[in-house]
Structure 1
Amino acid sequence: MTKMIDIDPDESPRARFAYELRRHRLAAELTQKQLARRIGFSTSAVAMVETSKFRPSERFAELCDQVFGLDGVMARLYAEVWPPPPPVPAHFRDWAVEEQRATALRFWAPLLVPGLLQTEDFARQVLSRLPGTSPEQVEERVRGRMQRKAILSRDNPPTVTTLIDEGVLHRPIGGPAVMREQMEHLLEMARRPKVTVQIVPYGAEALSGLSGAFTIAEMRGNPYTVRVESQPWGRTVADRGTIAELIGCFDAIRADAYPQHLSCKMIEEVVKQKWT
């Protein structure tokens, strides 16, 4: 008799792992206690993973593959759900993981071009201005930021929607050459089928967005975590109430934004008039 699996695998990446673990355990006709004994973990650990309340280790996934007779299925799923983050500061690692596995990302950028859309020189200028950062740390963080961008070149990249305040186009980060390259890169990214770039004009009354930048991560249409930028380091939040509020904020800002074709024309004009 087939037992019902009552967790929604599309709710989040962690829920997907939980769903597959329980599905394979039931197919193997094992109780949670029996599986726990075979892999050397506690019954409560297995139960918490199956209810998406606990992040397992990579070894946990590998041992489950052995018990279920799978050819690395759970280990590959683990790597997909919890990929190793690029070299980024400790305070950003949780978000770097979420960024890699999200199927859609929504950015609101009132002050700077979002990190995933930055050029190397623009990123270097931004990161070099952080107090107490050594040249070696700057270069390490630039490499990490560039590695993060690899998700945009995957066979199936995430859908990216970016709202950028008009002031960002005029803020002289690094001088004309750096800004021209950055603006041209934005235009190039906007030509990709899964990337949308929209400019929010000075005259917009998007007051709800003035409190700071944020990013919403989605998995198969379900927003499940956000990155809120604040001093000194920002924070990653999974609270559903906060996520709902920021989705409403994003939608309100986007209502005042130019459509993409007009946004690209604005960027082109700024490049001609200011950064050539």
Structure 2
Amino acid sequence: MDDRLRYLLDELRLTREARGMTQEDLSRHIPWASSTIGMIESGRRKPPPGFWDAVDAALQTGGALGRLALRLGSPQWFVEWSGAEENAASLRSYEALVVPGLLQTEAYARAVLTDAGLTSLEEAERRLAVRLARQAVLTRPDPVDFTAVLDEGLLHRPVGGAAVMREQLEALVAAAALPHVRLHVVPASVGAYAGLNGPFVIATAPDRTEAGYLDNQLAGDVVERATDLAALQRAWEAVRSEALPQQQTIELIREVAEKWI
């Protein structure tokens, strides 16, 4: 058995036992028999669709096992970054091409993942589930403090078509109404600026330690060296200085949303 799968199944067993539940007890709360749970825990059967959601609800884990299952199917760099993202006190994100993943609607995210045709539909759906699960950092009881700077060009790019774009821009406006979310747009009138060198995110942990994330066509790169983080800090200050204040940003997003009909 793959070590990552064994770890996940051990977490299932340990969480169940910590709740004082036997396999028989758990079976009374989910649509699978105790014998099925036993086979899954021992690795003799693959968890069926919906299993982790049902178990998380029964064991009151807040979705932890489901998120772990998604994460363990991802490459190591993503595991590292998703951990930094989930545990961050604040996130600062810059995007020039697409809406940041934490703010994407399901339809927009699906279009981003499928329309390029670089992955199978099955893999695109798996990545979609991971992306939507990550958004919990904005809706949990202690949400991350999130600031995003977007290039205006992404507001005009027809990802998924007009209806998808209108829904997405309206979702951005709704997100900006949350007290822990701030949005800023770099207007099209700005010429060359630091953001044209590529998107990035800076995660700051409660203890003030930081990690950075850079994206590319093949993989993501998690950076923690002081010199790299200092460069990202300078890039952040540069893009933030070119962006509109939040109120003007919201007015611009609403104006562009009206054109997507």
Count of residues paired in the alignment: 197
Indicate yes or no: 2:229 matched with 1:243.
yes
2:250 to 264, 267, 275: 264
CA distance 1:226–1:107, shift in 2 (3 Å): same
Partner of 2:167: 181
CA–CA separation in structure 1 for the residues paired with 2:207 and 2:237: 15
The yes-or-no answer on 1:165 pairing with 2:145 is no
Q: Is the 8 A contact 1:206 1:252 kept in 2?
A: no
CA apart distance, 1:99: 0.8
1:110 match: 96
Q: Is the aligned partner of 1:92 residue 2:78?
A: yes
Answer whether contact 2:89 2:205 (CA < 8 A) is retained: yes
Report if the CA contact (8 A) 1:206-1:256 is conserved: no
2:138 pairs with 1:152: yes
2:180 alignment partner in structure 1: 194
Partner of 2:32: none
Distance 1:252 1:144 in 2: 31
Compared CA separation, residues 157 and 206, structure 1 to 2 (3 A): farther
User: SS of the residue aligned with 1:210?
Assistant: helix
Contact 1:224/1:240 (CA < 8 Å) preserved in 2? Answer: no
The answer for unaligned runs of 5 or more in structure 2 is 1-9, 15-63
Structure 1 100/189 Cα, relative in aligned 2: closer, same or farther at 3 Å? Answer: same
* Residue range with higher mean Cα deviation, 244-253 or 222-231: 222-231
Deviation per residue, 1:86-145 (Å, 9 max, x gap): 446314221111110001000000111000000000000011134441111111111111
When Rg is computed on C-alpha atoms for both structures, the one with the higher figure is 1
Q: Name the structure 2 match of 1:275.
A: 260
Q: Percent of pairs identical after alignment?
A: 38
CA contact (8 A) 1:107 1:216 kept: yes
Given residue 275 of structure 1, which amino acid in structure 2 is its aligned partner?
W
Deviates more, 1:111-120 or 1:221-230: 221-230
TM-score (norm 1): 0.67
The one-letter code of the counterpart of 2:255 is E
Bigger mean CA deviation after superposition, 227-236 or 254-263: 227-236
**Counterpart residue number, 1:210:** 196
Counterpart pick for 2:114 among 104, 117, 128: 128
Distance (Å, rounded) in 2 between the aligned partners of 1:240 and 1:203 = 33
Gaps of 5+ in 1: 1-57, 63-79
Q: Secondary structure at the match of 1:220?
A: coil
The Cα offsets for residues 2-30 of structure 1, whole Å up to 9 and x where unpaired, read as xxxxxxxxxxxxxxxxxxxxxxxxxxxxx
Conserved? CA contact 2:184–2:245, under 8 Å: yes
SS in 2 for 1:232: coil
Are the counterparts in 1 of residues 84 and 205 from structure 2 also a CA contact under 8 Å?
no
Q: In structure 2, do the counterparts of structure 1 residues 120 and 96 end up closer, same or farther at CA, with 3 Å as the change threshold?
A: same
Structure 2 length normalisation: TM-score? 0.71
Question: Retained in 1: the 8 A contact 2:193–2:238?
Answer: no
2-structure distance, mates of 1:214, 1:95: 12
